[in-house]
Structure 1
Amino acid sequence: MPFAITIVPIMPLRAEPSHRSEMVSQALFGECVETEPLTNEGWIKVRMQYDGYEGWVTAAHLETITLEEFNAPFTHIANQWAARLSVNEQPMYIPYGCMLKLDNNVWGNITVKPESGIEAYKQPRSPRTAWHTIANSFLNTGYLWGGKSVFGIDCSGFTQSVYKILGIPLLRDAYQQATQGELVSLIQEAKGGDLAFFDNEAGKITHVGIMLNDQQIIHSSGKVRIDPIDHQGIVNADTGLRAHNLRLIRRLF
């Protein structure tokens, strides 16, 4: 299967090969995918290298790369909300958290040159002390179904993005993330950085956030926000109404 890399700041992944189809996720600049054959309408079905998520994308958003380039490690990260680089000498701004493979600055037929807001990536030695600053970088980002960036993000996209910068892989959707890590038995035992999961009336896990401590959570609900939490679930800090019913808490570091 051929390999490709995302060459636009944010690439929508859609459920079907149509711009009107549901956006199920996104790929940020520099994320790699495995590709299936191109359709006559210019769409390609892809599988994300990072989490295995699948969707349809526009072929113009990708550049074909080699297996060696596909498997190369991340070397740099965008550390500003809108970091600047050039692609074939044309300016481009990419969102905070983009992780890049820039060993030789060449991806297929394009040349990428960092300009500002991009630094060498070093996995934090202590996730327990680093996660809070990373999570706070997303505060007040608007909720966007399928979103994964500071310009719009959903609940599991938020948790995955924070953990990715920490160097800890998470799956894409909340119900998938709920299978990872170790179970925390009581909310009183929760630590900052633990993941809290919430279910609907049918018992399906539909929401996830990151515990700040055993009484507060940061999560994407309307926007990335901080709310109180107890053994029953989240209480909206603005309205005082209960917003999500707590199902379980898991710890990955």
Structure 2
Amino acid sequence: MEHGICMLSLVPLRAETSDRAELVSQLMFGECYQVINTEGNWLQLQLATDGYKGWIDFKQHTAVTPEYFSRWKSSSHARTLSLLQFISINDFQVPVGIGSYLPFFDGGSIQVNEVRYGYSGPASDTSVLPSKTQLVEVALNFLKFPYLWGGKSMFGIDCSGLTQQVFGICGYQLPRDAYQQVALGQEVHFVEQTQPGDLAYFSNAEGRITHIGIMLEGQKIIHAHGEVRIDQLDHTGIYNEGLKRYTHQLRIIKRILPSNA
């Protein structure tokens, strides 16, 4: 089985073997994966981070050794904190956005296979569980990012991509989709009892989880809806002051981090 790593700023992960196919997620720079199938010029991947599957164009694949992949998967990796920075080697640079992976970061460089690449920007510390304050500080960096189904970057992000990125930057791996994330944590029974970092989930008319956001102080929520924005939450759901109406119906609130984090 072949293994690979994303060596571009961002790579689309698609539902089928076509550039026109649905965008189901994105690969961030420095993220490793297994190649589990091939079809024409397309490779089906399974991500080492969250097990998510999808297809990429073979031209966007960079191979790594099985030994490197195994070491990558068993390690925690720093993530970029700046909206935009660069990975460099000699005169070659790759622009990387917030949340990109920094494999085996030593403070000034990363390692891919046996090659080291320079990185001099700020990086997260994933060696300890995040605090509520840290989660909120990271989440606020995503404000005004445009909404994009399947997106995980500053150029477009969806609701569960936002929560996964924020928690991932802080060293806590969440599954990719909201319906998977809702299985984690302990239920918070009343909106008035929420703490920063709690996750609020919202359902459609059929009762299916379709939206998610991160709680802030004062019963406010940061979420991706048209853009990453802050709105008010009550027992009914999210109230959009600009639209003068509720946009999402509250289903459940979960606490991922310990109360004393």
The TM-score normalised by the length of structure 1 is 0.92
Determine if the alignment matches structure 1 residue 225 to structure 2 residue 229. Answer: yes
Q: Return the alpha-carbon distance in structure 1 between the equivalents of residues 137 and 27 of structure 2.
A: 23
Offset, 1:129: 2.0
**Equivalence map 1:112-131=2 (5 Å):** 112-119=116-123, 121-123=125-127, 126-131=130-135
The farther-off stretch of 210-219 and 238-247 is: 210-219
DSSP 3-state at the match of 2:38: coil
Report what 2:84 is aligned to. 82
1:77–1:206 CA distance, 2 compared to 1 (3 A): same
Amino acid at match of 1:2: E
Determine if the alignment matches structure 1 residue 34 to structure 2 residue 34. Answer: yes
Percent identity, aligned pairs only, is 39
Deviations 1:78-112 (A, max 9, x none): 22111111257421101111122136844248x45
**Alignment root-mean-square deviation, CA:** 1.9
The TM-score normalised by the length of structure 2 is 0.90
Structure 2 portions without partners, runs of 5+: none
Deviations 1:145-166 (A, max 9, x none): 0001122100000000001011
Q: Return the alpha-carbon distance in structure 2 between the equivalents of residues 88 and 176 of structure 1.
A: 42
Offset, 1:242: 0.6
DSSP 3-state at the match of 2:123: strand
> Which of residues 144, 164, 170 in structure 1 aligns to 2:174?
170
1:95–1:244 CA distance, 2 compared to 1 (3 A): same
Verify the 8 A CA contact 2:45 2:55 in the aligned structure 1. yes
DSSP 3-state at the match of 1:46: strand
Report what 2:47 is aligned to. 48
Amino acid at match of 1:8: L
Q: Return the alpha-carbon distance in structure 2 between the equivalents of residues 31 and 126 of structure 1.
A: 21
Report what 1:237 is aligned to. 241
DSSP 3-state at the match of 1:201: coil
1:88–1:200 CA distance, 2 compared to 1 (3 A): farther
DSSP 3-state at the match of 1:133: helix
Amino acid at match of 1:4: G
Verify the 8 A CA contact 2:37 2:45 in the aligned structure 1. no
Number of residue pairs aligned between Structure 1 and Structure 2: 251
Offset, 1:214: 5.1
Structure 1 portions without partners, runs of 5+: none
Report what 2:62 is aligned to. 63
Deviations 1:13-62 (A, max 9, x none): 0000110000000110001111124333x210001111111100112222
DSSP 3-state at the match of 1:38: strand
DSSP 3-state at the match of 1:16: coil
Q: Return the alpha-carbon distance in structure 2 between the equivalents of residues 124 and 105 of structure 1.
A: 20
DSSP 3-state at the match of 1:208: strand
DSSP 3-state at the match of 1:36: strand
Q: Return the alpha-carbon distance in structure 2 between the equivalents of residues 165 and 141 of structure 1.
A: 16
> Which of residues 99, 102, 107 in structure 1 aligns to 2:101?
99
